[in-house]
Amino acid sequence: MTAAPTYAGGVDTSESHEVEGSVATRTDDPWVTIVWNDPVNLMSYVTRVFQEYFVMPRQEAESRMREVHERGRSVLSTGSREQMEVDVQAMHGYGLWATLQRSGE
C-alpha cells in the first residue's frame, strides 16, 4: 500500500480531548490511524464522516472510503501518538472501526 497523506492540518480540534499528560514515555515514531472495513457502515455515511472530520473534498473522501471497502483498511492520518488517539477517538465516536499503531508495524 502506498504512503497515505496526512490531514492533520485540517483536523477540527475544537472538541476537547483529554490526551495531555497521558503517558510518560513517548518516542518520535510517527503513528497512523487505520480505518477498517465492517459490514455495517454505509458507504455514503463513511464518505461524509471522512469529509466532515478530515476536511476532505468529496472525491477524496469517496476514494478513501473505497479503499477501506475494497482493501479492508486505509490509513487515514499520520502523526504523533496523541494526534492519532484524538483521530481514533473521533472515528469511534462516529461508529467507525479504527485503530492506531506505529507506522511500519
Partner 1 sequence: MRGFRDVGGLAVASLDEEERLVIARIVADVGAMLGGDGFGDEHPGARPEREELADALAFLERADESPREPDDPALLRLLPTAAPTDADVSEEFRRLTEGDLRDLKIARLRRMWAQLSTGEGRWEVGPAEVMPTAAALTDVRLVVASRLGLDSEEDAQALHNDLAAAAAAIQSGEAADGALAGTSEADAERLWLGMLYDALTWLQESLVSLNLGGLDD
Distance CA 97, CA 5 (A): 20
CA distances from 26 to 13, 29, 62, 80, 82 (A): 21, 8, 34, 9, 9
**x/- contact string, 60-89, with partner 1 (CB under 8 A)?**
---------------------x---x--xx
Contacts of partner 1 in 11-50 (CB under 8 A) = 17-19, 22-23, 39-42, 44-45, 48-49
How many residues in the shown chain lie near partner 1 by CB under 8 A?
Answer: 32
Least distance to partner 1, CB of residue 104, Å: 13
Of the candidates 20, 31, 15, which has an alpha carbon nearest to the alpha carbon of residue 94?
Answer: 15
Distance CA 15, CA 18 (A): 10
Q: Residue from 13, 26, 29, 58 that binds partner 1 (CB under 8 A)? A: 58
Summarize as ranges the residues that interact with partner 1 (CB under 8 A): 17-19, 22-23, 39-42, 44-45, 48-49, 51-52, 57-59, 81, 85, 88-89, 92-95, 97-101, 105
